[in-house]
């Protein structure tokens, strides 16, 4: 009795969801789903580098500092009619600048790297919030911080496709070098690799990935979707490329499941996706510990 | 014996900040030797290796390896770092670690069949071919050490630098490693850094003592006992972190 009722509810949910997906009046949902599916590729591949090289904190610094770029672009758009300077351009600029600042300092090794990352993180957010405060009109920082699938447009979908092509092509070409730099930087240098180039390339790709994917889960939460799927994948993978494949699949499952639940229960999509990813990570990590 | 020493330091000074790490270091190492570098922790042993590899630059003085500046010579050096410095969670198999020895700057794309053959040969030579598919992190200390030695051999180096190969491995593994090093010494010049003076092969002709300054002793002039006296305080420190077992 209870079981059949439960099954009907699930089927109802699913059919609702698929009707909505094809409904021309709900194109935002379609874009959100397509964007979610496509972004899993970049998330899984770049996230695996982030987790393997243990630079989650650095990726977090880059993602938070992006708010400065978004705030600055809105400030210019509204106050100085600079319509061309869209938030996405501002975000890309801010992401690249902070990636290069952090990368340069980390390569020079003169300062404490974590302190610098923390400073870039907080300064970026502070600057962004001040720009937003000085921008007339109602702007809700929440949608940038935690994502809003209503904001995803066809243009975003194309940008995400471009990012996927870029990250996968570059990873494919430079895989042995990027892996060597992540695993053993010093040895890579002795072997004559341009370690600085590969490290900055990696940080640039992280910045671009984070920027284009904040629409899905937002500045604050993006770091979780970048690191949780590879962290789960890392429990099973023997090789870096396996970690990437598993992470892409995991990310895809979390995003689809999260969007489906958020649609049916009227929950914000970003936090729902992250809660699912986090819960599954904890369950898998604990059960492995339990059974081993 | 070649006339040009393989490694030559001429009045080299080095410091990271204001405190000098190495003072007026001059030394010459001829081809084919097995040289020990010993000294207390923080005395500058690793710095000496990094200067030889060109990873650090001397403040003053001149370093030549194979008669060349270190940055130009380092592709001919097989460097074997301490296995403990690696992230134990990194997803990589032993084979892929060995394959890394075939990396070359300026070349694109993935590894060729020749690279793979070379990695297999190196692993077979070190009797670890059966471990190729095992994740690096799951290997024992001795196996990881062999994997890193295999990695360095894939590029047919003329000189091997081993950084603390005996830390955190048990006595039995240490004996086997010593045999291996003696065997490798038939073809390669070897420089071995150790803070453990007990780990000495009878093939060693020279011991370099590093403690800010550097003294080179032919082994005929020095006995284990004199070294033990010089570094008595450190030997006790060493003993305390020697207890990790290797399975």
Query: pLDDT of chain B along its 247 residues, tens only?
Result: 446 788 989 898 898 887 888 888 888 888 888 888 888 877 888 889 999 999 889 999 999 999 899 888 888 899 998 877 788 889 999 999 999 999 887 666 678 888 899 999 999 988 899 999 999 988 988 889 889 999 999 988 999 999 888 777 777 788 888 888 888 888 889 998 886 665 555 667 778 888 888 888 776 555 555 555 555 444 433 333 333 444 4
Contact A108/B at CB under 8 A: no
Q: What is the pLDDT of residue B200?
A: 58
Which residues of chain A neighbour B87 with C-beta distances below 8 Å? 52, 54, 183
Instruction: Read off the DSSP letter of residue B35.
Output: E
Looking up tokens 């020095």 gives: B222
Q: How many CA atoms lie within 13 A of B199 on its CB side?
A: 33
H or E segment and range at residue B63: strand B60-65
The mean predicted confidence, pLDDT, of chain A is: 86
Instruction: Read off the DSSP letter of residue A42.
Output: H
Neighbour count for residue B230 (Cβ, 10 Å):
18
Q: What is the pLDDT of residue A284?
A: 92
Q: What is the mean pLDDT of residues A72-100?
A: 87
Phi, psi of B244 (to 5 degrees): -65, 130
Q: pTM for this structure?
A: 0.84
Domain A41-220 has CATH 1.10.3470.10: yes
Which residues of chain B neighbour A179 with C-beta distances below 8 Å? 92, 96, 100
Q: What is the pLDDT of residue B224?
A: 57
Q: What is the mean pLDDT of residues A138-155?
A: 77
Smallest CA-to-CA distance from B48 within B178, B56, B40 is with: B56
Pick A123 or B89 by higher pLDDT. Answer: A123
Q: What is the pLDDT of residue A1?
A: 45
Instruction: Read off the DSSP letter of residue B135.
Output: B
- Judged by phi (left if over 0) then psi (alpha if -120 to 50, else beta), residue A29 lies in alpha
Q: Which of residues 226-255 of A touch B (CB under 8 A)?
A: 234, 237-240, 242-243
> What burial class does residue A1 get, using C-beta atoms within 10 Å of its C-beta: 0-12 exposed, 13-18 middle, 19+ buried?
exposed
Smallest CA-to-CA distance from A193 within B156, B159, B108 is with: B108
Query: Could you tell me the pLDDT band of residue A95, with boundaries at 50, 70 and 90?
Result: very high
**C-alpha span between A216 and A214 (Å, rounded):** 5
Q: What is the pLDDT of residue A206?
A: 94
Q: What is the pLDDT of residue A200?
A: 94
SS3 B25: strand
The Cα angle at residue A114 between residues A109 and B42, in degrees rounded to 5? 50
Looking up tokens 């690191």 gives: A227
Strand pairing class (B213-218; B206-211): antiparallel
Looking up tokens 């010093």 gives: A186
H or E segment and range at residue A233: helix A222-234
Q: What is the pLDDT of residue B213?
A: 83
**C-alpha span between B177 and B196 (Å, rounded):** 14
Among B55, B91, B110, whose Cβ lies nearest the Cβ of A175? Answer: B110
Q: What is the pLDDT of residue A291?
A: 75
Among A176, A182, A192, whose Cβ lies nearest the Cβ of B111? Answer: A176
H or E segment and range at residue A204: helix A195-217
**Residue B111 has which token pair?**
């590894």
Q: What is the pLDDT of residue B238?
A: 34
Q: What is the pLDDT of residue A149?
A: 72
Q: Are B62 and B12 in contact (CB under 8 A)?
A: yes
Q: What is the mean pLDDT of residues A167-177?
A: 91
Instruction: Read off the DSSP letter of residue A150.
Output: G
pLDDT tens for residues A13-41?
Answer: 566 666 666 666 667 778 888 888 899 99
Q: What is the pLDDT of residue B237?
A: 35
Q: Are B103 and A179 a contacting pair at CB < 8 A?
A: no
Which residues of chain A neighbour B53 with C-beta distances below 8 Å? 190
Helix A195-217 to helix A87-108 angle (10° resolution) is: 140
Contact A188/B at CB under 8 A: yes
Per-residue exposure over B77-98, b if at least 16 CB sit within 10 Å of its own CB, e if not? bbbbbbbeebeeebbbbbbbbb
Q: What is the ipTM of this complex?
A: 0.81
Pick B204 or A271 by higher pLDDT. Answer: A271
Pick B33 or A121 by higher pLDDT. Answer: A121
Q: What is the pLDDT of residue B240?
A: 33
Selected residue of A44, A170, A182, A187 to mutate for chain B interface (largest B Cβ count, 10 A): A187
Contact B105/A at CB under 8 A: yes
Q: Are B91 and A52 a contacting pair at CB < 8 A?
A: yes
Residues paired with residue B161 on neighbouring β-strands, in sequence order: B79, B191
Contacts of B100 (CB under 8 A, 6+ apart): A176, A179, A180, A183, A184, A187, A191, B151
Q: Does residue A249 register a pLDDT over 90?
A: yes
End-to-end, the C-alpha distance of chain A in Å comes to: 38
Q: How many CA atoms lie within 13 A of B76 on its CB side?
A: 16
**C-alpha span between A117 and A57 (Å, rounded):** 8
**C-alpha span between A145 and B48 (Å, rounded):** 49
Among A52, A190, A238, whose Cβ lies nearest the Cβ of B135? Answer: A238
Q: Are B81 and A187 a contacting pair at CB < 8 A?
A: yes
Q: What is the pLDDT of residue A96?
A: 94
Q: What is the mean pLDDT of residues A137-160?
A: 79
- CA dihedral over B206, B209, B210, B212, signed as positive or negative: negative
Which residues of chain A neighbour B90 with C-beta distances below 8 Å? 52, 182-183, 240
| Integer-rounded Cα radius of gyration of chain A | 20
**C-alpha span between A105 and B79 (Å, rounded):** 27
Residue of chain A whose alpha carbon sits nearest to that of B98: A180
Query: Could you tell me the pLDDT band of residue A72, with boundaries at 50, 70 and 90?
Result: very high
Selected residue of A55, A178, A190, A240 to mutate for chain B interface (largest B Cβ count, 10 A): A190
Give percent of chain A with pLDDT exceeding 90: 44
Q: Does residue A179 register a pLDDT over 80?
A: yes
Strand order in the sheet with B77-80: B77-80, B159-163, B189-194, B34-38, B206-211, B213-218
SS3 B96: helix
């Amino acid at each position: 009795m209870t079981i059949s009722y439960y099954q009907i509810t699930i089927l109802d949910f699913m059919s609702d969801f698929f009707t909505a997906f094809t409904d021309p009046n709900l194109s935002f949902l379609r874009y959100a789903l397509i964007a979610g599916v496509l972004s899993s590729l970049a998330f899984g591949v770049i996230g695996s580098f982030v987790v393997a090289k243990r630079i989650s904190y650095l990726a977090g610094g880059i993602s938070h500092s992006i708010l400065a770029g978004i705030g600055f672009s809105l400030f210019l758009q509204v106050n100085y009619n600079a319509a061309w300077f869209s938030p996405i351009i501002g975000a890309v600029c801010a992401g690249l600048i902070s990636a290069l600042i952090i990368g340069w300092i980390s390569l020079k090794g003169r300062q404490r790297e974590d302190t610098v990352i923390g400073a870039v993180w907080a300064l970026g957010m502070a600057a962004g919030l001040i720009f937003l405060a000085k921008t007339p009109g109602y702007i809700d920082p929440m949608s940038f911080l935690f994502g809003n699938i209503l904001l995803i447009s066809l243009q975003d979908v194309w940008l995400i496709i471009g990012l996927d092509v870029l990250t996968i092509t570059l990873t494919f070409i430079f895989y042995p070098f990027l892996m060597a730099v992540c695993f053993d930087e010093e040895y890579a240098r002795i072997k004559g690799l341009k370690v600085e180039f590969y490290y900055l390339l990696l940080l640039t790709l992280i910045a671009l990935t984070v920027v284009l994917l904040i629409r899905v889960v937002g500045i604050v939460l993006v770091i979780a979707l970048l690191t949780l799927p590879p962290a789960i994948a890392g429990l099973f993978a023997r090789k870096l490329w396996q970690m990437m494949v598993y992470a892409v699949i995991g990310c895809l499952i979390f995003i689809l499941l999260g969007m489906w639940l958020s649609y049916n229960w009227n929950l914000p999509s970003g936090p729902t996706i992250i809660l699912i990813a986090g819960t599954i990570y904890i369950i898998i990590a604990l059960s492995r510990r339990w059974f081993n | 014996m070649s006339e040009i020493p393989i490694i030559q330091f001429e009045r080299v000074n080095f410091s990271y900040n204001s405190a000098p790490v190495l003072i007026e270091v001059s030394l010459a190492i001829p081809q084919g030797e097995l040289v020990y570098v010993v000294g207390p922790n923080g005395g500058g042993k690793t710095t000496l290796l990094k200067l030889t590899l060109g990873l650090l630059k001397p403040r003053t003085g001149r370093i030549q390896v194979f008669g060349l500046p270190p940055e130009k010579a380092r592709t001919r050096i097989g460097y074997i770092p301490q296995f403990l410095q690696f992230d134990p969670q990194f997803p990589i198999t032993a084979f892929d670690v060995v394959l890394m020895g075939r990396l070359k700057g300026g070349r694109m794309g993935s590894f060729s069949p020749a690279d793979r053959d070379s990695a297999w040969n190196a692993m077979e030579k070190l009797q670890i071919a059966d471990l190729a598919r095992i994740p690096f992190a799951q290997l024992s200390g001795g196996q990881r050490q062999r994997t890193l030695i295999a990695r360095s051999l894939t590029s047919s180096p003329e000189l091997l630098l081993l950084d603390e190969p005996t830390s955190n491995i048990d006595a039995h593994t240490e004996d086997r490693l010593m045999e291996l090093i003696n065997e490798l010494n038939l073809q390669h010049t070897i420089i071995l850094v150790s803070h453990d003076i007990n780990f000495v092969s009878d093939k060693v002709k020279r011991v370099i003592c590093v403690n800010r300054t550097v003294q080179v002793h032919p082994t005929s002039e020095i006995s284990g006992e004199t070294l033990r006296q010089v570094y008595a305080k450190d030997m006790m420190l060493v003993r305390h972190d020697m207890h990790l077992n290797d399975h």
